Structure 1
Amino acid sequence: MMFGWYHRQHNRANLFLCRFLVGCVMMERNTTDSCLRLQTTEPMATALPSNGILTFLTDFSSADGYVGAMKGVALSESTELTLVDIGHEIPAFDIRRAAYTLRMAVPEFPSGTTHVAVIDPGVGTSRKVLVAHVRDQFVVGPDNGLISLLLDWAPDAQVFAVESKHLPDTIRSATFHGRDIFTPIAAKIACGRLDVPGDLKVLPKPIVFDTSFQREKQTITGTVLCADRFGNLITSIPFEELQSAGLSTVHIGQTEITRFVETYGNAEPGAVVALKGSLGLLEISVINGDAAKRLSVTNGTTVRIRL
C-alpha cells in the first residue's frame, strides 16, 4: 500500500512538473508572438482572424502630423502591429479617387488585413462610421462612398455601422476622427479585440456613388469614375464589353476617340487613346499627357460608346 501511495504521489509530481514547463513555454511565446497572442485579458473574438496588418489611406499628405498621430494611436493599441501606408496623397476630399485606390490596393493584401481609410469631408457631422467585411478583410472609414468600388468587386461584402457604445470613450476633437475614432476601431480589429460582426449592427444601405453602365442595342453608356494622378480617365465600363461587341467609337464630352491601343507605348506623345486599364475597365488617356485636363472632363462625366 505504501508503494502504491508513493507511486501515485510520484506521478502527480511529474504531472505538476510537466504543466509547469508547458506554462513556461507558453509564457515565452506570449512575450514574442504577434499582438493576437499578447492578449492575456482580452482573447481574440474576431470571427475571421485578423493578421495584425493595418493599412492607412488618407488625403492628409505627409506634410503635417496627422498620419503620424494616427499611427501612434495604432501602436498604443499594440506595438506588434504591422503598419502599411497605401497612400496619403489623395486629392483633398476626393472620395472617388480614394475609392479607386482602395479597389486597386485591397485585393492584393492577405486575408485578415485591416484597412483604415479617412477621406472625410463630413467629419464631425452625423455621418456614420462603418466597418466593411470584404472578402476576409476589413475596411474602417466614414460612410460616404469610399467603399463603392469594393462593393462592385465583392458584392457579397457585409457592411456594419459602429454604434456609439463601441466608440472610444474620449473623442478629443470634432475635426480629427481619423485619430479619435477610425484608427482606434481599426487597431482593435487588427488585434482581434473587436468582434466583427458579433459586436456590430448591419448597415443595410451604405452610401455609394454610381459605378454602373448600361448596354443597349447600339450603345454602351457609363461614367468617368475618377482620374488618376496621370490624368488617365477611369470609366465604369468593363473593357470586355467592348471586345465582345467589337471596338468602335468612344464619345466623352466634346471628344470622339477611335484609336484603341494595348499600352501607352503603342502611340505617339499627345495622342488621345482608349485602352484596357489595370482593373479591366475602359480608360481614356493622352500619351505622356493629362486626359482630364486636355478633354476638360470631371468625375461623373458621361461616356458613350457607339457600337
Structure 2
Amino acid sequence: MPIITLTTDFGNKDHSVGAVKGAIYKELDQATIVDISHEISPFHIVEAAYIIKNGYKNFPEGTIHIIGVDSELTPENNHIALKLDNHYFICANNGIMSLIAAEIIPEKIVQINIHDKVESNFTLLDVFVKAAAHIARGGTLDVIGKDITAIKQLIGVKPQVNSDKKQIIGYVLYVDHYGNVVTNISRTFFEDVGKGRTFTISTRSVQFKKIHESYSDAINFDSPKNKREEEGKKIALFNSAGYIELAVYKSNPSTVGSAASLFGLKYLDTVNITFD
C-alpha cells in the first residue's frame, strides 16, 4: 500500500486534518498517512510549493501527495493529478506544482473530473481522497481525469539578473520555523551568474560577503568557547534545499529574535547580490 502524505494550510486547531485522515482510512484501512505540514500560511501557494519540493523527494517512489492549499474548485482553479518523478500529486492547478515541474517534466497530467461522484464541498475530504484511494489501489490517472499538457505557472518565482550581469535581484521566498529567511536564489543560479567573482549580499540593514556551507561552518571552533561569536551571529549559507538562506546562529524567534525579525524581512522583500 503506497504512503499518502498531507500538506495543507488547515492548522491543527480545527477538525479538518483529522476528518481527511478519517476519510482516507474509510477508503483504505491499511493506509500509511504522513503529515508533511499543516502550518502553511493561509493560501500561500509559494510557501507550499517550496515545502513540497523539498519534502517529497525523501519518500519512496509511488508515494501519493495530497496538497490542500487554495484548493477550492472554481472556474479558474480546477483540480489536477499528475505523475512526476515517480510520485503522484493531487492538488489544485494554481501554480503549486510549477516549481517542481520546471525541473522535472511530468510523465502524465490529468484534470480531475470525478466531482459529480462526490457529495460535499470539502475538496480534500471528497475529491482528493477519492483520487488518492483510486491511485493507491493501482488505478490509472485516465480513470479520474482527462489529459492536459500544461499546468499553471507561478509568475516571478525566478530571480532576475541585470543587463551587465553584475547583480542578481531576488526576494524572500520563505521564512522557516526558526525565522531563517530563504531566498529564491539557488546555488546553481548564483554560481552560473557569479562565475567565482567576489560579491556582496544586501538586504535592508545587513550585508554578507561570504556564503557558508552550513550553520556551524560559520563558527570558529578552534577558538576558545568564551571567545567565539556564536549565538546571534549573522550568517548567509546554502541551505539543504540548495537556496541561499540568511540566518542567525541558534536563533529563537520567541526570545532573542530571528533573521526575519532582526533583519526586518518578510515574504517578497528584495535581496540583492552585487558582483565586483
Shorter-chain TM-score tier: 0.7 to 0.9
2:170 is the alignment partner of 1:219: no
Counterpart CA distance in 2 for 1:84 and 1:224 is: 28
User: 2:271 aligns to what SS in structure 1?
Assistant: strand
Name the structure with the higher helix share: 1
Cα distance, 1:156–1:119 mapped onto 2, change above 3 Å? closer
> Is contact 1:62-1:88 (8 Å) kept?
yes
How much does 1:276 deviate? 0.6
Counterpart CA distance in 1 for 2:143 and 2:215 is: 44
Amino acid at match of 2:272: R
Give unpaired runs (5+ residues) of structure 1.
Answer: 1-33, 35-51
- Residue by residue, what CA displacement relative to the aligned partner does 1:139-191 show, whole Å, maximum 9, x if unpaired? 1011222223222342455433213xx22523323xx2121222221221222
> Is contact 1:160-1:197 (8 Å) kept?
no
- Find 1:284's aligned residue among 222, 246, 265: 246
In structure 2, the partner of 1:260 is: 211
Counterpart CA distance in 2 for 1:97 and 1:136 is: 23
Amino acid at match of 1:185: A
Give unpaired runs (5+ residues) of structure 2.
Answer: 220-229, 252-257
Counterpart CA distance in 1 for 2:143 and 2:156 is: 27
- Find 1:150's aligned residue among 97, 100, 107: 100
Counterpart CA distance in 2 for 1:258 and 1:150 is: 30
Name the structure with the higher strand share: 2
Larger Rg: 1
- The number of equivalent residue pairs is 252
Alignment TM-score, normalising by the size of structure 1 = 0.73
How much does 1:305 deviate? 0.8
Counterpart CA distance in 1 for 2:158 and 2:243 is: 12
Alignment TM-score, normalising by the size of structure 2 = 0.81
Counterpart CA distance in 2 for 1:227 and 1:271 is: 18
Amino acid at match of 2:269: T
- Find 1:65's aligned residue among 11, 15, 20: 15
Percent sequence identity over aligned pairs: 28
> Is contact 1:151-1:157 (8 Å) kept?
no
In structure 2, the partner of 1:192 is: 138
Cα distance, 1:198–1:91 mapped onto 2, change above 3 Å? closer
In structure 1, the partner of 2:59 is: 109
Amino acid at match of 1:146: I
How much does 1:303 deviate? 2.0
Counterpart CA distance in 2 for 1:196 and 1:82 is: 24
2:242 is the alignment partner of 1:293: no
Counterpart CA distance in 2 for 1:300 and 1:157 is: 32
Cα distance, 1:257–1:225 mapped onto 2, change above 3 Å? same
RMSD of aligned residue pairs (Cα, Å):
2.4
- Find 1:131's aligned residue among 65, 74, 81: 81
Bigger mean CA deviation after superposition, 252-261 or 293-302: 252-261
Counterpart CA distance in 1 for 2:238 and 2:5 is: 28
